[in-house]
Homo-oligomer: A and B are copies of this chain.
């Protein structure tokens, strides 16, 4: 059976030594999170994740969810109780708005907690994750009354929330939505239509489920400019906050999937259900994007989270399984064979995974910190830069971390040999679960297109030039240090490659959009590598400053940084070459030649 121990040491290193969260202690939220409080939260969060959620991970995979004849849905054994503990422990409300019962702590703290939950049990962690998304959408776009009615219960997770976007004829292209909303005399709407792939659309964890539904008001313009957002609660809420009538929708079926079996993926049939418009008519996409951007950062984190738990189990297996002898001579002559961790190719896989997860964690937490700063910093320039970084890099985190997270999980399976392919060992579940993260909340192809087609050129490229400045400033500040030389040199290479690709796109992507589209995947990966290079350079700097403590953690961090620059970053050259070939070879064949 797989195990999971939260990587608390690494989390603390990031928060304290790399991101230096204590330097923001003057800001709202951060002032409530001194190091000892953060430590206590992480400690008990880690305990909750490994003792409550992780043991339910394999159970959830095997049992899956069941739709009962009355259209109710049963989640796997143990899920309702674990969810209750999560709500009662106040975990869902960590970084919620104190006005609605949240604890108001920085998002970077809830990100760390969410990573633990997602490593321990991804299918489970999706339920509170989507609830938080619904909370954010209403928080951003809802009326005061809607906020008062729904936010306190969504903030704590007492009620759960979902997002209803997809329909059979539209996934990526939401302009094709057919679900209709008919205005009623009382100001409400009647919602009718079918939504599919609704994660947690129906379940037995919470007494009320607040559906956020995209629909088209009768007579609305065609395409995405005619889409409105509605709150459609499972039970209507009475004026006193108690639950009233059952709304007119139900779960029409569950999807059978490759993984995340513990999460109910529902077909939702709305049959004149009562809905409440969020914000203005026809402008639902705007609010939905707020929600989606937050969710995309969370999905990137899921890639990291599955990589982390896969890595931990692979490392255990590599130390315990004895098989063959080291090619440089027996290392455990007292045993019938050496542990397989002596083999260089096993090390290669472990180092690939380790350098990815630690770099990806730094990237994710750093971006979550930008998410905090863009809201709470008193300094306008800081807020703008944070906002720019968030917008530009969200598709990079989502696309790069989920692609590589899946790869890491698959490498962990590989390291186990035949055992990895058996259900009993448990690591193949990580591969199946991790696979969805490359698809949902916008496929990684959509992330890449968002990056090159929208984010890159936004404000005249201000955000990407800020990234170059971030990298250059770091290099200037550290190039005098002998110890930092290999890391600064590596980062300079990465920045030059990223800049070359960016310039190529600016010159060629505008004149022929297909050039941008054809290069988008490789550009996103190149960007991901360059950001991890920045993160590894920053981590190396932090580790060097602490190296004198003699704690081997810092030396190991430096060695892992070296591995990243020597053995991972070379992929950037290949991505750059592919970016620069443009669309011609990609688009040459006729559609019927495939």
Contact = CB atoms under 8 A, between A and B. Distances in A.
Interface of A: 166, 169-173, 175-176, 197, 255-259, 315, 318-319, 323-324, 327-328, 336-337, 339, 341-351, 354, 406, 410, 413-414, 417-424, 428, 431-432, 435-436, 438-440, 443-445, 448-449, 453, 512-514, 516-518, 520-521, 552, 556, 559-560, 562-563, 566-567, 570-571, 573-574, 577-578, 581, 583, 585-594
Considering the complex of A and B, which 4 residue pairs feature the smallest CB-CB distances, nearest first? A344-B517, A570-B577, A344-B518, A315-B594
Contacts of A574: 570-571, 573-574
A414 B428 contact: no
Contacts of A197: 418
19 contacts: A169-B336, A197-B418, A256-B423, A319-B594, A328-B513, A341-B591, A344-B520, A345-B449, A345-B517, A347-B586, A348-B521, A348-B586, A350-B594, A413-B435, A421-B436, A432-B432, A560-B589, A562-B588, A574-B574
Contacts of A166: 418
A587 B337 contact: no
Contact of A589 (B336, B559, B578): B559
A449 to B, nearest CB: 7
A402 to B, nearest CB: 11
Nearest to A353: B594
Nearest to A255: B422
Q: Considering residues A176, A256, A324, A419, which has the most beta carbons from chain B within 10 angstroms of its beta carbon? A: A324
A445 B414 contact: yes
A315 B517 CA distance: 18
A324 B588 contact: no
B337 A176 contact: yes
A513 B560 contact: no
Given A343-B517, A345-B520, A439 B420 contact: yes
Given A323-B173, A417-B443, A581 B566 contact: yes
Contacts of A590: 552, 556
A448 B318 CA distance: 18
Contact of A323 (B176, B418, B444): B176
Nearest to A416: B439
Nearest to A564: B585
Given A424-B256, A514-B327, A517-B343, A556 B593 contact: yes
Given A431-B258, A445-B414, A594-B354, A324 B581 contact: no
A448 B453 CA distance: 40
